[in-house]
Structure 1
Amino acid sequence: MTLFQVEFEPQASPDVLRAAALHRAVTDGIAAVAPVAGMNEARVTERLTHMIGIAPEAGDDHDRRQAVRQLMAWSVDAAELQSRKKRHKPVSQRPAGVACRLPRHARVTWACSEMVCGLCADPVPVGDLVGRMPTPAFYYQPMGWLCTHCLYLRRARPRLRDVLLRVFHHVFVGSGIGLNSYECAVMLSSLEEDPAAPRTVAWKSVPLDGVLVRLRTSLREEKHTTWLSMADGLTMVAVLRETAAARSTTEREIELMEAILQHVEEWRANAYKVEARRFDTGPRYRQESLARTTRPTVLSKLGGPFDLHQCAPGAEVSSAPMDLVI
Structure 2
Amino acid sequence: MAYEVIKVEFRTELHARWSVFFDHLRVPWAYEPVTFYDSAGSPRTPAFWLPEQRIWFMAEVEAPVWWGRFAMAAAGCDELFGDQDEEADGCPPVEVPEEWHGKALLAEGPFFPDDTAGVDTWDRPDPWDGPWRFHEANGMSVYGDEPYQWTMCPQCGSFGAEFCGYAERLPCGCLDDREHHKVAGGSDKRLLAAYRAAQLEQWHEDDFTDPHATVLLPTVREALVHQPGAAAAAANCAGECQSLAEQLRQELCPPVAEDSEGLATLCSACPGFVCGQCGERPASAAGVPCRTCEPVVLLTENQARQRLNWRVEQLAAATGIHGRRVNGIVNDSIGVKTRSGISLAQLGVALSNVERWLEDPSSMPTGLPAPSSEDLDKLHGAELRKLLATYVGPLAGALREPIPFVQTQLNEWMGAPSRAEATDEQLRDAIIQARAWIEDPDSYRAYTHPEPPEPGGMTAPMRTKTAVADSSCNLCAAPAMAGELIGRMPHPRQPYVPMAWLCAHCLFDRRAKPRLTDVLLRVFHHTFSGSTTTLLNTTEASVFLEALLRVPAPEDDSHLQEAITALRQGIDAPEPVMGLSYRPAHAAVTALHAARPQGAAAGDAAVLAAVAQHLTEWQHNPQGIDQAPYKNRTLWRQAVLKSTLTPTILSQRGGPFWV
Per the normalisation by structure 2, the TM-score is 0.33
Read off the aligned partner of 1:211 and give its amino acid letter: A
State the partner residue of 1:149. Answer: 505
Equivalent residues of 1:259, 1:299 under 8 A apart: yes
The one of 262, 274, 287 equivalent to 2:625 is 274
3-state SS of paired residue (1:214): helix
The equivalent residue for 1:58 is 410
Write the mapping of 1:86-125 to structure 2, written as runs, cut at 5 A: 99-125=455-481
2:582 is matched with 230
Opposite residue 520 of structure 2, the aligned amino acid is L
Q: Name the stretch that deviates more: 252-261 or 136-145.
A: 252-261
Q: In the alignment, is the contact (CA less than 8 A) between 1:121 and 1:298 conserved in 2?
A: yes
Do the aligned residues in 2 keep the contact of 1:99 with 1:225 (CA within 8 Å)?
yes
Instruction: Supply the AA of the counterpart residue of 1:141.
Output: V
Indicate conservation of the 8 Å contact 1:112/1:126, yes or no: yes
Q: Hey, what does 1:303 align to over in structure 2? A: 654
AA in 2 matched with 1:41: E
Does residue 198 in structure 1 map to residue 553 in structure 2? yes
Query: C-alpha distance in 2, partners of 1:138/1:119?
Result: 18
Deviant stretches of 4+, over 4 Å: 33-36, 42-46, 54-57, 64-67
Return 256-265 or 60-69, whichever deviates more.
Answer: 60-69
In 2 relative to 1, CA 301–69 (structure 1 residues): closer, same or farther, beyond 3 Å?
A: farther
2:566 maps to 1:211: no
Q: CA 1:45–1:294 in 2, change beyond 3 Å: closer, same or farther? A: farther
Match of 1:41 among 353, 365, 383: 383
Q: Whole-Å Cα distance in 2 between the matches of residues 272 and 35 of structure 1? A: 47
Q: Name whichever structure is richer in helix by fraction.
A: 1
Unaligned runs of 5+ in 2: 1-373, 392-405, 429-452
User: Contact 1:105–1:131 at 8 Å: present in 2 too?
Assistant: yes
The CA deviation string for residues 43-74 of structure 1, in whole angstroms up to 9 with x for no partner, is: 9957xx9xxxx999922496359963748x9x
Deviation at 1:207, TM superposition (A): 4.3
Q: 2:649 and 2:519 mapped to 1: Cα distance?
A: 16
Provide the C-alpha distance between the structure 2 equivalents of 1:253 and 1:159, rounded to a whole number of angstroms.
8
**Matches of 1:140 and 1:132, distance apart in 2:** 15
Q: Residues of 2 paired with 1:45 and 1:189: CA distance?
A: 53
Distance in 1 (CA, whole Å) between partners of 2:376 and 2:553 is 66
Gap change, CA 1:63 and 1:206, over 3 Å in 2:
same
Tell me, in whole angstroms, the C-alpha distance in 1 between the residues paired with 2:625 and 2:386.
45
Give the Cα–Cα distance (whole angstroms) in 2 for the partners of residues 230 and 218 of structure 1: 16
Q: CA contact under 8 A between 1:117 and 1:147: conserved in structure 2?
A: yes
Counterpart of 1:133? 489
| Distance in 2 between residues matched to 1:115 and 1:56, nearest whole Å | 26
Within a 5 Å distance, the mapping from 1:162-177 to structure 2 comes to 162-175=518-531, 176-177=533-534
Cα RMSD after superposing both structures = 3.5
TM-superposed CA distance for 1:143, in Å, is 1.0
Greater Rg over alpha carbons, structure? 2
Q: Which residue pairs with 2:545 in the alignment?
A: 188
SS at match of 1:130: strand
Instruction: Give aligned pairs, total.
Output: 241
For 1:241, the aligned partner's letter is H
Deviation at 1:41, TM superposition (A): 3.4
Describe the superposition over 1:228-261 as per-residue Cα deviations: whole angstroms up to 9, x where unpaired.
Answer: 111100111111112224x221232222222122
| Cα displacement (A) at 1:179 | 0.8
For the Cα contact (< 8 Å) 1:101–1:152, is it kept in 2?
Answer: no
Which of 252, 263, 274 is matched with 2:603 structurally? 252
For 1:226, what is the secondary structure of its paired residue? strand
Identity %: 31
Change over 3 Å in CA distance of 1:69–1:129 after alignment to 2: farther
Whether the aligned pair in 2 keeps the contact of 1:177 and 1:229 (CA below 8 Å) is: yes
User: Are the counterparts in 2 of residues 143 and 306 from structure 1 also a CA contact under 8 Å?
Assistant: yes
| Greater RCO (CA < 8 Å, at least 6 residues apart) | 1
TM-score between the two structures when normalised by the length of structure 1: 0.64
How far off its partner does 1:115 sit? 0.9
Aligned-partner residue type, residue 383 of structure 2: E
